[in-house]
Amino acid sequence: MIGWILFLAVLTVLSYLTDVGVITFFNNLKVPFFNASILSVLLLFCTLGILIRMLSRKKKGEKEKLLQKINELERTIGPRSAQP
């Protein structure tokens, strides 16, 4: 996750420097179907990657919390006896 954020920070700085006019190399690189610079598309993909990772981690965290609650309830109730 830290790698994604560091890469996104570098892309953001490069995008800003390109917009200001300090770096002109990236202005010439365009993505064919989007009519956007390559940096903008990379920023979009990095942001989507972070969002997807956050959502998957959230689901995993919810499952772990539910398993923990189940284990706590089983400890408080005790072992179940077989009822016919």
pLDDT tens, residue order, the chain (84 aa): 677 778 878 878 887 787 777 877 766 666 666 566 777 777 888 888 888 888 888 877 788 888 888 888 888 887 665 455
35 inside domain: yes
58 inside domain: yes
Query: Is the pTM of the predicted complex or chain greater than 0.75?
Result: no
The dihedral formed by the CA atoms of 35, 43, 16 and 23, expressed in degrees to the nearest 10: -60
CA 47, distance to chain mean position in Å, is: 7
Q: What is the span of the domain harbouring residue 21?
A: 2-76
Q: In whole angstroms, how large is the CA radius of gyration of the chain?
A: 24
Distance between first and last Cα of the chain: 51
Relative orientation angle of helices 38-77 and 2-20, to the nearest 10 degrees: 160
SS3 of residue 44 by DSSP? helix
Domain count for the chain: 1
